[in-house]
Each structure stands twice: as C-alpha cells, then as structure tokens.
Structure 1
C-alpha cells in the first residue's frame, strides 16, 4: 500500500476476526512510501472482513 498524503496519518490493514477481535498491520508512511503489508489470523479464528484504517505516524 502507499501513503499518498502528508497528513500525519499512515494507512494500515485492519481485519475483524470471526470472534470479534481485530488484527492490524503496521502503518505505512511517511508520504510517498510504498510497502507490502499483510495480516494473519489464527487457524481457529479466521478473518471475517478486512479493510483500511489509519494510525498516527
């Protein structure tokens, strides 16, 4: 993913697990940084839905 704004927020992947918990990737930043990110869930608690969120950087 790529951070395309210098707004103090870095994008990251967030996935909600079947149990209701969450897993997050590390954020990507600063502006114009591009990095591969992934999230992993335990075998007994798979990912229900995934999307983007932001974290301060």
Structure 2
C-alpha cells in the first residue's frame, strides 16, 4: 500500500505545479491585450464610411465600418501593410449596418494606409 500513497502524492504535486504554470499565463495574456492607440483615422466612399484608431505603433487598427446606401454594395476597410500585403475588415450590409473590427499586422510589419472597398452583396 505505501506505493499507492506515494503515487497519489506525486499526482497531487504534479497537478499543483500545472496550476502554478497556468496562472501567470492568464496574467500575461491580460497585459498583452492593453493597446496604445495614439491617432484617429476616418474614411468614406459612396457606399459607406469607417473610422477608428491606429494602435501599437501602427501594428493594429481598430474601427467600425458602416453601410450608408441600399445599393447592393457592402463596404469594408482594406488596411495596407509595409511589406506590400493587406488585411480586410468584415464587409457590412444592408444599409445602416455597422461592424466593429480589429486588424493586426503580420509579424515585423506595420499598417501604412487604409482604403474603402466594397463587394457585391
């Protein structure tokens, strides 16, 4: 029977060690989510408008895009990056619909500009 007690104690200490590892990771994730947003941006087209903020040295963009017309076109924001690629916000529709979005640049890149685009919807 002594071997069973030792096994139980070993499992308990392993579970305690696992719990100790999980707690700091949760704290680190909460700290990483704090954004430093320093500048505002806004853009519009005949299909809709959008506005938001440049964050974290232009490595993140936050904003809201809105569809302004019942024209079968759903607007979205295209954010261009320093490496030549881009990321798109969700598109919105019908007229009067808005969506909040957050875009994060690829590693080692930053956002350089935003443009309004649309899709047929």
* TM-score bucket of the superposed structures, by smaller chain: 0.7 to 0.9
Larger helix proportion of the pair = 2
Aligned position for 1:53: 117
- Which structure has the higher relative contact order (CA within 8 Å, separation 6+)? 1
- Once the two structures are superposed, residues 4-55 of structure 1 have per-residue CA deviations (whole angstroms, 9 ceiling, x without a partner) of 1111111111011101111101101111112212322123111111121112
Partner of 2:88: 24
Indicate the structure with greater strand content: 2
Q: Give structure 1 stretches of 5+ with no counterpart.
A: none
Q: Which has the larger radius of gyration?
A: 2
Aligned length: 57
Structure 1 segments, 4+ long, off by >6 Å, are none
CA distance in 2: counterparts of 1:7 and 1:38, whole angstroms: 26
Confirm or deny: 8 A CA contact 2:90 2:99 kept in the other structure. Answer: no
TM-score, L = length of structure 1: 0.81
**Structure 2: 5+ residue runs without aligned partners?**
1-64
Over aligned residue pairs, what C-alpha RMSD do you find? Answer: 1.3
